[in-house]
Structure formats: structure tokens, C-alpha cells
Amino acid sequence: MQQGEEMADERRSSPTEDVRRLYEEAENRTALAFEDLVSRGSFGELLARTTENVVALTKIATDVFDLTLRNLRLAGRQDVTRLARQLARTEDKLELVLQEVERLADELEAEGRSGAGRPSRRGSADGLTGGAAPARSARGAR
Amino acid sequence: MNLVEQLSRAPAAAIEFANILLTQDDAKVGATPKDVVWTHRKTTLYRYRSDRRRHPVPVLLVFALINRPDIFDLRPGNSFVEFLLDQGFDVFLIDWGYPEEEDADFGLEEYICDELQWGIREVLRTSGEDQLTLLGWCIGGTLCLLYGGWLQDNPVRNMVLLTTPVDTTSSLYSTWVRRDSFDVEYVAAGYKAIPGQAIDWANKLMKPVTNYWTTYRRLWEGVLAGEPRRDAFQAMAHWVADNPPFPAAAYRDWITWMYKENRLVQGRLRLRRRRVDLGRIDQSLLIVTAGADHIAPPRGTRPLLDLVCSDDVTWIDRPGGHIGLMAGSKARSEIWPEIAQWLQERSQATREGRGSGNHRTE
């Protein structure tokens, strides 16, 4: 009886559904096969060599472009990068100075409060209330 | 739908399908209003606007160095940031930006000992609090761990680690890069900033059929059935395709320390000459892993349970993928409330001491 019902269910599935089911099975199997393929050591070896070749080709192409630009007395990528790096170094120093200034300002504020006999309190009222109002001025705005 | 109906719908579906793919870059991600708190080089610290802050301990979101942190705030209605704000948290986000060739010397030391540390300092100054919660995802989680293991007396009260790689022994990445023939120094010297697309390509190569075919096949079926889920697909596709470059030094450090030498779990990793000791981590710790995660599989995160000294460790393992677990359609009703509940219990104004929960849950 049960077998008969199962057969009836099978009969009810349309050809489109059958094709779809078979396709999905095939896709799943292909996906697993590819995942197995990429997890092999030999694929890792292939990937390592390919990466090295791509890096080498990119380096050669970049060097040629840069040399051409330099001979034309135009600023190349290296020049722009060098300038940007100088700016970054300056920003690093500025950040350290800002932090030191903030530390000193905090110390002064704390001393002022203890001198006035008021209880010490950091930041905004409780850090919980109200919108986006920061306890301290936003550094990004400087 | 029978074959004739499918064929009759196919031309319109093809146009819709193409339109979804061609306009995916226009999808708006990371739309929740936020303010810039601090910037340094390419790093920006944001604070999300809210008038519902109830929990005093601020939450700092830290994402990976690859891909953008917009995944925390993918789209309205499906945004983890939005959810945390609704729950009354004060949410900050550290965004690593788009590094360029001038940042080639930016290694993990700079990211952890400078950017993350300074970002934490600014979170505390801005919120007026003494402690915070670090919530890291993927490499961002590892950065949080490295910070916690590097600086003992840090202001981190809670640490939440989402699909975070720790022990990479059995990782597919290790199979690819651990071999001597993969010369990471050569790659880092050749590219001052490793192209984000190359990293993305390698990630997708781990599941080539799923990433390059099945995703689009499912979209096509949805379009053909008249249920394209355009917004969800476009937002995710936009995020996946937005790949910032990986600074050469950070790439070299990451591959060498984590995959070639697996230093973190062996206790051999040093930042600025100081050893990173995961045994120093005594904060309340929530570890979230995804059962079907092929990038940071649970077996690679689980060793962390034996390495930290915290008495309050909770481990949640749920079905899902590396990103899908937190950004999928079910995340809002399943994993986010669990995380928020865990955080609420540990974000009270007066601190009862680290590990106050005094339990380990697995």
C-alpha cells in the first residue's frame, strides 16, 4: 500500500521538477568536486607559482611604466607614493603631539577640579544621555 | 510554474536579472547616521547617532582588514548596528579605510598597537567611560585577541569574537600558503598594497562553484519566480565586491604569523617586542562560530577556550556561514538577540570585576 503511494508520488512529479532535481544534484556534486580539487596540495602548489608569476609580471609592467614616465619628466606612481608617505609620517608625529596635549589638558582639568574641591568627573554627564553629543570634542573635526 | 510559463517569463526575467547585476554598485550600504570622532591616516573612528543609549559600556566594532566594515550596517532593516542602537548600546566603529601604496609599511603592530589602541582611547574619551566592549569579526576578532593578549592592563571589559580564526592548522588557507613555494615576502615586495580583488578571488576560490555560479543561479530562479529579493542581493553583492587593498606589511605579518607559522596559539607572537599571551585575557568573552564556516571553521576557534584565563567564557556555535551567520536574513531573529542579551548582562554601570559571570558555557 505504502509502496503504491510512493509510486503515485513519483508519478505526480513533473518532468520539469525531475530535470531541476537532477540539475541540483549535479551542481552539488560539481561543487564538492571543485572544493576537493582546491583543497589539494597540488592545487596549492599551482596557486603559489601562479601568484609568483602574476606578481613578477605586474612588477615588470609597473617598472616599465614608471621608467617611461620618469624619462618624460612626469611624476609617476612612485613619486606620488613618496609624497604620501612623507605626509603620513607628519600625521603620525602630529597624532603623538595631539595625544600629549590632550593628556596635559586632562591633567590640568583634574588639578583644577581637585583644587576647587569638586568631585572628579570624566566626559559628558554620564555618557548615556542625549544624541550624538560627545564628551570631548571630536578629534576628526580638528 | 511549467516550462511554457517559464519560457514566456524568461525575456522579462533576463532584463530584471541584468538590471540587478548592473546596478548593484548603487546599493546603499552603511546608511545608519554616524559622526566622525577621530581619524589617523586611513583609519576613521565613527560613533553612531542615538538618543536611546541605556547601557553605559560602549561597544567598539572592529572588522577585518579585507572587505569593508559596512557589513555591520548592511541595509536598513537588516543592520546589526541598527539592532544594537535599538537595544540601547552606544556603538562605535573603527574603519580601516582604503590603504594605498604609501601604507605599505603598515603591519599588524601598527594596526594593533597604534590604530586600535588609539581608537579605544578615543572611544573612552568620547563616551566618558573607563571601559568598553570590543566586538571583532573575522580578522577583526583576531586583532581584538592580539590586543588583549598584548596589553594586560587594558580597558576592555567584554570581548565578542565572531567567526574568528585562531588556530589555522587545518585551514584551507594553510594548505595554500604554508608551503615554501608560496613566497609571501616576494608578494609583499611586489605589491605595496595587495589588491583587494586578489584577496577576494582567493576567498571565492575556496568554494568556486557556490561563489561563481550557485549565487547567480539562485538569483535567476528568484527573478524568474517573481521574488528577486533585489535589496538583499544587491547590498550583499555590493559589499562583497568592495575590496580595499591589504597593506603589504600587514599581509606579510598575517600570512606568516597566522598561517605559515601559526604563532598565536603557540604563544610565539610578539608585538613591539612584547609577547602576545592569550592567557592574559581575563575579560568576559563571547565566542561565536558558524558550523558551515569554511574561512574560520569552529575547530580553528575552539582552542581559544583552553588558552584564555577568563572565568566568563560563552561559546555559541550555530549553523551558518562565515558572513551569513551575522548578515543573513535569519540573523536578526536568531543570533543578534543572543549577542545583545549577553552584552546587556555585562554592560552595567558598576563593574563587579572581570569574570563576574563566573561560568563557562559551551
Topology adopted by domain B31-195+243-361: Rossmann fold (3.40.50)
Q: How far apart are CA A122 and CA B273, in angstroms?
A: 33
pLDDT at A18: 87
Q: Are B314 and B287 in contact (CB under 8 A)?
A: yes
DSSP-assigned beta bridge partners for residue B162: B137, B288
Instruction: Indicate whether A46 and A89 sit together in one domain.
Output: no
Compute CA distances B182 → B106, B173, B204, B260, B325, whole Å: 21, 11, 19, 10, 31
- Tell me the shortest Cα–Cα distance from B181 to chain A, in angstroms: 6
Instruction: Indicate whether A66 and A21 sit together in one domain.
Output: yes
Nearest CA in chain B to A19: B3
Residues 43-62 of A with CB under 8 A from B: 43-45, 47-49, 51-52, 55-56, 58-59
DSSP-assigned beta bridge partners for residue B94: B45, B62
pLDDT at A15: 80
What's the pTM value of the predicted model, to 2 decimals? 0.88
Residues of B in Cβ contact (< 8 Å) with A51 = 182, 187
Kindly indicate the confidence band of residue A5, based on its pLDDT and cuts at 50, 70 and 90: low
Strand stretches in B3-122, DSSP E: 34-40, 43-48, 59-62, 91-95
- Tell me the residue range of the domain where A51 lies: 11-74
Q: How many structural domains comprise chain A?
A: 2
pLDDT at B354: 43
In a domain, A136, yes or no: no
- pLDDT tens, A54-84? 999 999 999 999 899 989 999 888 899 999 9
Instruction: Indicate whether A46 and A67 sit together in one domain.
Output: yes
Instruction: Indicate whether A86 and A60 sit together in one domain.
Output: no
Phi, psi angles (nearest 5°) of residue B137: -130, 130
Residues of B in Cβ contact (< 8 Å) with A17 = none
One-letter identity of residue B245: P
Which residues of B participate in catalysis according to the annotation? 138, 293, 322
Instruction: Indicate whether A68 and A87 sit together in one domain.
Output: no
Tell me the percentage of chain A whose pLDDT exceeds 70.
Answer: 73
Across the range A94-119, mean pLDDT stands at: 86
pLDDT at A139: 57
In a domain, A126, yes or no: no
- Is A123 in CB contact (< 8 Å) with chain B? yes
Instruction: Indicate whether A41 and A92 sit together in one domain.
Output: no
Nearest CA in chain B to A83: B102
Residues of B in Cβ contact (< 8 Å) with A48 = 176-177, 179, 181-183
3-state helix, strand and coil shares in percent for chain B, rounded to the nearest 5 = 45, 15, 40
Instruction: Indicate whether A56 and A82 sit together in one domain.
Output: no
- Tell me the shortest Cα–Cα distance from B215 to chain A, in angstroms: 12
pLDDT at B228: 74
In a domain, A124, yes or no: no
Residues 94-113 of A with CB under 8 A from B: 95, 99, 102
DSSP-assigned beta bridge partners for residue B160: B135, B286
Instruction: Indicate whether A16 and A70 sit together in one domain.
Output: yes
In a domain, A92, yes or no: yes
pLDDT at A4: 59
Residues of A in Cβ contact (< 8 Å) with B186 = 52, 55
Residues of A in Cβ contact (< 8 Å) with B191 = 55, 58
Q: B346: Cβ–Cβ under 8 A, 6 or more apart, which residues? A: B57, B133, B157, B158, B284, B312, B356, B357
Across the range A34-44, mean pLDDT stands at: 94
Quickly count: other Cβ atoms within 10 Å of residue B152's Cβ. 11
Kindly indicate the confidence band of residue A16, based on its pLDDT and cuts at 50, 70 and 90: confident
Grid cell, residue A133, equals: 553629543
- Tell me the shortest Cα–Cα distance from A18 to chain B, in angstroms: 12
Closest by Cβ to A31, choosing from B36, B191, B214: B214
pLDDT at B146: 97
**Inter-chain CB proximity A56 and B102 less than 8 Å:** no
pLDDT at B357: 38
Secondary structure (3-state) at B289: strand
Instruction: Indicate whether A26 and A65 sit together in one domain.
Output: yes
**Inter-chain CB proximity B103 and A52 less than 8 Å:** no
Grid cell, residue B131, equals: 571601559
Grid cell, residue B269, equals: 607572537
pLDDT at B261: 95
In a domain, A125, yes or no: no
pLDDT at B227: 84
Burial B319-356 (b: 16+ CB within 10 A, else e): ebbbbbbbbbeebbeebbeebbebbeebbeeeeeebbe
Q: How far apart are CA A102 and CA B124, in angstroms?
A: 13
Is the complex ipTM higher than 0.85?
no
Instruction: Indicate whether A39 and A91 sit together in one domain.
Output: no
Domain boundaries, chain B: 31-195+243-361
- In this model, does residue A133 exceed pLDDT 50? no
Across the range A29-39, mean pLDDT stands at: 95
pLDDT at B350: 56
In a domain, A87, yes or no: yes
DSSP-assigned beta bridge partners for residue B75: B78
DSSP code per residue over A70-137: HHTT---HHHHHHHHHHHHHHHHHHHHHHHHHHHHHHHHHHHHHHHTTPPP--SSSSSSSSSS--SS-
In a domain, A83, yes or no: yes
DSSP-assigned beta bridge partners for residue B288: B162, B316
- In this model, does residue A138 exceed pLDDT 70? no
Instruction: Indicate whether A63 and A87 sit together in one domain.
Output: no
Q: Is the dihedral of CA B207, B303, B149, B343 positive or negative?
A: positive
Residues of chain B with confidence (pLDDT) below 50: 351-362
Strand stretches in chain B, DSSP E: 34-40, 43-48, 59-62, 91-95, 132-137, 156-162, 193-194, 246-247, 270-271, 274-275, 284-290, 313-318, 360-361
Q: Are B74 and B31 in contact (CB under 8 A)?
A: no
DSSP-assigned beta bridge partners for residue B313: B285, B360
